[in-house]
Amino acid sequence: MGSMVHQYMNIAAQVDKGPSNGLINVINARNDRGYKHSYTALNNLDGFTKSRIVKLHYYARIGEFLAPGEATPKPEDYNILALGRVLDVANKECEYMKKTFANKCKVDRASAKLIKIGSTNLLQVSARFFFSQKDGIGKINLGQAYTISELPVNLNGKKHYKELSLKSSESARQKYYKTIHSKCERMKRLNSICAIASVNIRSRMGKNHSKMKMSAAVVYSTLTKVKSKSK
């Protein structure tokens, strides 16, 4: 087992006061612990907020950290390689998100850990991102009262994990990002409001060391209009 290596990027995350600094009338915005996460995720929609995040945890082959044609270093140098390039790998992931559901994307932190599974050396990658949503959340009437709901979705359907090969991990994540965007767009057509609050993609190695199991979940925030009481 190798040591953990980290690179961090700090951003000035806005203090969460709710969407439009509380101008949107959400009658169930609070619970016993304060503002709901589904509510604060609507904050600062054109920028970044600590309430709107993507978390990744997956395994990467050494080649994913190398430039085309670059020779593979010795195993004792893998952690040095990871330290120098994990941020580049995370920024590349940001670009995948920006092609699908994110308008802006920023790496908050990224780390890589050298592990050996069977006879194979791998890098265990963990990263966290802040993002703003592409195509907006839909039309909001500031004079309208709303209730807010949190909708968690398993992107693997009825199966908790999706089994796949190490080499298909990258393309699988890109497919998840496309699905996250398309589901939200469909919700906007049906309900008019959809915000992507959080994304969590995690992997673990299967008994067959050439395969891994990947879970993927997204949480959407939706607003529903409150019907005015007739007098």
Judge whether 45 lies within some domain.
yes
Judge whether 230 lies within some domain.
no
Residue 211 domain boundaries: 4-225
pLDDT at site 109 = 96
Judge whether 75 lies within some domain.
yes
pTM of the model: 0.85
Asked whether 104 and 148 are in contact (CB, 8 A), the reply is: no
C-alpha to C-alpha distances, 133 to 58, 91, 170, 176, nearest whole angstrom: 23, 17, 21, 15
Q: Which residue has the higher pLDDT, 42 or 21?
A: 42
Judge whether 114 lies within some domain.
yes
Number of domains in the chain: 1
pLDDT at site 22 = 52
d(CA 123, CA 66): 12
Confidence of residue 23 (pLDDT cuts 50, 70, 90): low
Judge whether 124 lies within some domain.
yes
Tell me the per-residue pLDDT of 209-223, one tens digit each, with 9 for 90 and over. 678 899 999 999 998
Judge whether 231 lies within some domain.
no
pLDDT at site 229 = 65
